[in-house]
Structure 1
Amino acid sequence: MSNKEIENRAIAFVLTHELAAGRDAHDSRNLQGSPVDVQSYDLATGRTLLIEVKAFGGAGRGDFLWLEENQVEALEGNSDGHIYILTNVRSENLSDIQLLDLTGEALHKRLLAKRPKAYFEVPLPTAEYDRLRAKAAPAPTESGAAFALKVLRAVTVLHDRGYHRIRFESVIAPTGMHVRLAVGREQEMTSGFPQHEDLERTAFISVGGEELAARKFADTMVPAWWTPEMVADQILTALPPVEPTTDDPEYVCRLAEFLKRASAAGETPVTDDGDRRP
């Protein structure tokens, strides 16, 4: 659903709401001189409500309300000014949509807290857009070795955060064509590379030398442009619960040295075949 579709859906919701409240409302977005989206005439009082509609595809909680200068002036100078905040407009379940009415003293207080912003509208004709799109740079890629080093760096990031019991293991596949990587809690890695029954509780991947824009790892597609810090966050999300313990500095130092050697070599990091420790 596009932004325009969300806006139109919200306006339709507001017009129906006003009708149910006994008011005669009109979409005034294209009305010359109208500073707001909807003008609603109260048949009982003879007063006209000025309603600016702010539509959010989701909850919109904690977001900003963007107003133009003439809209602020209209709402500040009219006791019947309203900002209708429509939430969850993108939802397929229409009962999820809610109308939040910001008006009266609450609206006045919010307007007093406004912060001016200056911007320029730069037109981008469709012909220019198409020209740029034809020359668009493809998504960045990285080799299997580069991805493996990034995962290794991500584990050292977790160690820096205190998660000393997160382990990194990498072994060459029997075919010799791929390297298998696994990151997990110590209890899943007690005998080195995790056993088959433990793999589902680890972040596991098999990498080769191909250049790819993204790889499936830690329950998501990890794009080449992700940083080790972002990969570290995803690893924590994918693994079973783990607490920072900061109680194994020996392993932390050993893995940091292993990263240093692997980075200098520029090759896929492979842990020792003997005790499977870096």
Structure 2
Amino acid sequence: MVGFGDLVKCHRNPRVFIGRAFGASAVLLGLSLAAYPLVAVDKLYFGSAYLLAEAVTVAVVWFLVPQIEEVLHPHLAPHSLQKVRTEIRFVTTTDFAGMDRIFDATLDPEQAMDDADFLELMKRGTLVRVMQEDFGMGSERISRIAGYYSLWPLKEGEFDRIVQGTLKEENLKPCDIPDLNDSSVYVLYLSEVCSENDADHRSMLMRDMLRYIAQLLRDNPNIDKIATWPSSEDGKRWSDKLGLKPCRVQRKGRRIYALDRRAVLASPYIPSGQFKERVVVTY
């Protein structure tokens, strides 16, 4: 029997590094171009000096990017551990490492919101829900985040910019996303739905999401519609099944799909039963 203990891995966020490296390189290039006419040096020597300075700059940026500690859970082999519990609940900040791992495995990391901004939105406690699976055998126990979804309440202005292609959802800032009970909220924007490839309760997560959306629409009559950008074939099939339609006022960029509140609440795909803040299934 293999013992499953938590392993801690320290790594630097590649998105932060790439952004900062590009910025520093742009500054260095600008200074070099400005200095070249003033320096009486052979082009070959000047180019070599520039490349050396560029390498030093990238190395300095790399070491200045703060490290992130991530708790790594071993791969769960179905033959070695048995699922004993599944829970769907609102997110906590400790869930971020597991969520980030799922995102990078299922969606394009280049389309991710800034980590600090996403963490700030997680702290509101009502915008992101996760599915946690617990496994065990004998005295061994291990848990993992197996899926999650996030809903961003948006005002009409921000939503129109997304539809028109002048604003991408990953560039939204917490200040662009009001609280759910804000009367100016116009749309519930489904930003992310991710799950482990071997998660066998994806439908459970989707039912929870649909119940939560319906509950939010009932509690907030000012919310006019739900919307999303189906970036994958699965997302497009899901959008078609629920009846979401492409927004007509769209000139460029991503194709955003939406459905008005009355059609959502009348949809036969909204599960029966009340939304629960915490859903637990034991086996």
Q: Normalized against structure 1, the TM-score is what?
A: 0.24
Q: Which protein shows a greater Rg?
A: 1
Q: Select the structure that is richer in helix.
A: 2
Higher relative contact order (CA 8 A, sep 6+): 2
Q: Normalized against structure 2, the TM-score is what?
A: 0.24
